[in-house]
Structure 1
Amino acid sequence: MTQHLHTIERFIKDESFSGVLLFVATIAAVMVANSALSESYFELWNMALGVTLGGHTISMNLMHWINDGLMALFFLMVGLEIKRELLIGELSSVKKATFPIVAAIGGMVIPALVYIAFNTTDPKGFGIPMATDIAFALGILMLFGKKVNPALKLFLVALAVVDDLGAVIVVATVYTSEIHAEYFIHAGLVYALIWILNLKKVTMLMPYLLLGIALWIFIHSIGVHATIAGVLLAFAIPISSKVDEQDFIKNTKESVDEFEKHIDTIPILNHHQIDALEDIAYNYDKVQNPLVKLEHQLHGFSAFFIMPLFAFSNAGVILDFSAVSQNFFIVVGVVLGLVVGKPIGIVGFTYLAQKLRIVKKPDDLGWDEVIAVGFLGGIGFTMSIFITQLAFLDQSVIDAVKLGIFFASFIAGAIGVILILKAYSKRNKLI
């Protein structure tokens, strides 16, 4: 339990700083896109890059390598988080999971319906307001330090994990290009091999990652968005370690005793001590949970490289508001979906479910704080931009929607901040 709390604390801390980096990368992208460097900026992301493996060639521009390749690693991390939360975290029991699950479902369904209400003839962008940007939302929470109820942070993390799972399902089932069914067999065989490693209790990560690359190639070839390979791989990464904690303690103590027993006057380690250190290193590696180890390794890379790079490459939009007027109902659907649909969905579904005795709100979480989380959930940003790139091909539509996402995320975040401060003030008066 203590280890899980430390994982949550580290997750929140990393995500909060990642939110600051995302904000900086976004501002930089918009500034560069509207400066004298604009042409060079867009040419850079359209630069073609290709990789050939045997007779199989994959060629995409730089932006697609970021959105399909690097983002697959981001989705691998998301999948690992989802699996961990389902097995040992805030979603590991029915009692813990029902409230954030109901909140997340409401926070996906209502925004999608709001969007569809404004775009009944062409609703393909419905997935855009369904997403929540956990990095930005937690970044805002962390700015207020101890003014934020810890239960509110846990609720937001659990809700965002379910929200991410919903986004993964939408991307996998809705936003796909032409399907090439012949590659399903290849992908299926590779994925079966990955699960065989799991069932054989292989804890070394390298075989999983190498097969994961092959899985990415074949899923990309099928036409399903290749980032889904990351999630599929995550679900197959084992959580059990090779050596249990008690054996690790026993073996490590024996190795330390062996190391101490052979201390001598020579200022270098002797072979007995080197053997003892190697035994400690071996047990250190084997006691770690593969899933948690990989998640930890990916988290910094994702938070401080992949997501800022994604934001810098995708958030660059020329500030031409004529595109917004030309795509008015699409933009309105996205803005109202995030600013209105998210809080109504999150609060409405949980309130109704509690009245029907389907769920029970945590005692240490007030309804005013649930409403605050509802608005913070309206910060779609990176995930919304990601789905926008999949939903539309017309660059003018994409640019207009991005402006709508920026506006909606700012408004939703500002309202969320005001409500958090009000909730803090109310709690202090009650103490």
Structure 2
Amino acid sequence: MYRVWNFVTNYSLLLIFGAIIALIWANTDATSYHHFVDFVIWEDGFIGHLHDGHRTLTLHYLVNDVLMAFFFAIAAKEVWEAVILKEGSLRGKKAATPLFATLGGMLGPVAVYLGLAMVMGSETYSAVANGWAIPTATDIAFSYLIGRIVFGAGHPAVRFLLLLAIADDAAGLIILAVFYPSGELAPEWLLLSLGAAIAVFVLFNWLPRRLDVGDQDRPKSSFVRRILGFWPYLIAGCLSWYGFQQAGIHPALGLLPIVPTIPHADRAFGIFSEAEQYLTDLLNHIEHGLKHPVEIVLFFFGLLNAGVEFNAIGGPTWLVLAGLIIGKPLGIMLFGWIGARPLKLGLPAGMRVIDLFVIGCVAAIGFTVSLFIAAVAFDPGPVQDAAKMGALFSFFAAIISIIAGKLTRVQKIEG
């Protein structure tokens, strides 16, 4: 439990503080709060978004579109290691049922969200339809924490939940890139991102290792690591970020092509493992170097995005909440059952089918990524604010999960 709590305090506690301050501020002095969010850092800057015919860099843009790129890079690092490493958690048959359940955990919320929106009428549906992806998100840190509280640290359902959450993160990144462009699409600019990724991989990763073949001292690789460090990858990341921005894809995803090019360890101990801090590969070194800066970024992300007035609660709030609290458990249980039984992919030893429903309740905590998607799915205004409130209210899924665990007689396994 200590490791999980330590992870949550490292990456999410400041985010919660920022969100709480934002809620209080927006409901006591909304005018000053929105002036703060839209504070202009740089007029006619090179980086920024179009505003009144010229470029400006606002505090909101700096955090959401520039600095959050480091948060998504850390998420991508976990997904990349889970997929590429020999003992990665998303490789082989052991990941088959969790991946199938993840599909249900995406489709279930979308079906509930859009289905209820249609019931509310065509006008409501047109206003909220673009937010269909908001309830597909799972906050990996808080879900994992609640999962351990409900099942106990040694229960196989906890491992299942972690695999599902990592796969959900991967799917969320794809959804953001494909369905939520930040501007008019100009895909030719992605060649800049691709070129930066290929160049930095070949010149500073593959080539030194190639030249070191047969030499156990690895002098070329050591020289590159010691002298150049992370700088080539930072430069490539800046080029890739600019390529994403110009291509019309959300620039917060701009570092994703660079993550796989960074030298990584031959094994991964997992997102909550203390052992990873002792790995000396550049990818883990960069991740741990980003730890404290990302904490600050998440604080400002919560501060700049969670400031919703309580009178903003409306239809989108309940649609997002229903998608998460109803769609997630039902989708994960149905698709998990199909994968485990009809498709004979099986469940981990000691795990019951009904545990899939409880896992779905735990995975219904959207929060961080749900807030982010809400901010890009809708223009600032009542609909966006109402959708954000639904993402914030998803914390109630923690209480529902604990109750569901009691009702389904989950046998906690500590260890």
Alignment deviations for residues 44-74 of structure 1 (CA, whole Å, 9 cap, x no partner): 1101234548xxx963311111111111000
**Aligned to 2:41, what secondary structure does the other structure show?**
strand
Distance 1:426 1:230, change over 3 A: same
- Higher alpha-carbon deviation: 24-33 or 146-155: 146-155
Matches within 5 A, 1:5-24: 10=3, 13-15=6-8, 18-24=11-17
How many residues align? The count is: 366
2:115 maps to: 117
Match of residue 348 from structure 1: 334
The alpha-carbon deviation at position 173 of structure 1 amounts to 0.5
Instruction: From the superposition, tell whether residues 286 and 337 of structure 1 become closer, same or farther in structure 2 (CA, over 3 Å).
Output: closer
Unaligned runs of 5+ residues in structure 2 are 48-53, 119-124, 210-220, 267-276
Deviation at residue 22 of structure 1 after TM alignment: 3.2
Structure 1 equivalent of residue 205 of structure 2: 198
Give the aligned residue type for 1:136: F
Instruction: Please tell me whether residue 132 in structure 1 is matched to residue 100 in structure 2.
Output: no
CA contact (8 A) 2:63 2:301 kept: yes
Q: Distance in 2 between matches of 1:163 and 1:392?
A: 22
Pick closer, same or farther for the CA change 1:225–1:365 going to 2, 3 Å: same
Indicate the residue corresponding to 1:414 in structure 2.
399
> What is the aligned partner in structure 1 of residue 386 from structure 2?
400
In structure 2, relative to structure 1, the CA distance for the partners of 1:336 and 1:362 (3 Å cut) is same
Question: What are the ranges of 5 or more consecutive residues in structure 1 without an aligned counterpart?
Answer: 1-7, 242-284
**Residues 356-391 of structure 1: per-residue CA shift (max 9 Å, x gap):** 134211113333433222111111111111101111
Name which of 22, 26, 38 aligns with 2:19. 26
Q: Matched residue of 1:415: which SS?
A: helix
SS of the residue corresponding to residue 224 of structure 1 reads coil
Distance 1:419 1:210, change over 3 A: same
Specify which of 62, 72, 77 is matched with residue 75 of structure 1.
72
Q: Quick one: which amino acid aligns to residue 140 of structure 1?
A: I
Which residues of 2 match residues 158-197 of structure 1 at below 5 A?
A: 158-176=163-181, 177-196=183-202, 197=204
Shift of 1:426: 3.8
Deviation, structure 1 residue 136: 2.3
Q: Deviations over 1:381-420 (max 9, x none)?
A: 111111011111141111111222223x133221112234
Q: Is the 8 A contact 1:198 1:238 kept in 2?
A: yes
> Does 2:211 match 1:211?
no
Alpha-carbon distance in 2 for matches of 1:353, 1:145:
23
In structure 2, distance between residues paired with 1:140 and 1:91: 20
Q: Select the structure that is richer in helix.
A: 1
Where do residues 13-412 of structure 1 align in structure 2 (5 Å cutoff)?
13-15=6-8, 18-36=11-29, 38-50=30-42, 51-52=45-46, 59-88=56-85, 90-120=88-118, 121-122=125-126, 123-141=129-147, 144=149, 147-176=152-181, 177-196=183-202, 197-200=204-207, 201=209, 203=225, 204-240=229-265, 288-302=280-294, 304-321=295-312, 324=314, 328=315, 330-407=316-393, 409-412=394-397
Give the 4+ runs in structure 1 shifted more than 6 A.
none
Asked if the contact 1:20–1:139 (Cα under 8 Å) also holds between the matched residues in 2, the reply is no
TM-score, normalised by the number of residues in structure 2: 0.79
- What is the root-mean-square deviation in Å for CA atoms of aligned residues? 2.9
Pair 426,94 (structure 1): closer, same or farther in 2 beyond 3 Å: same
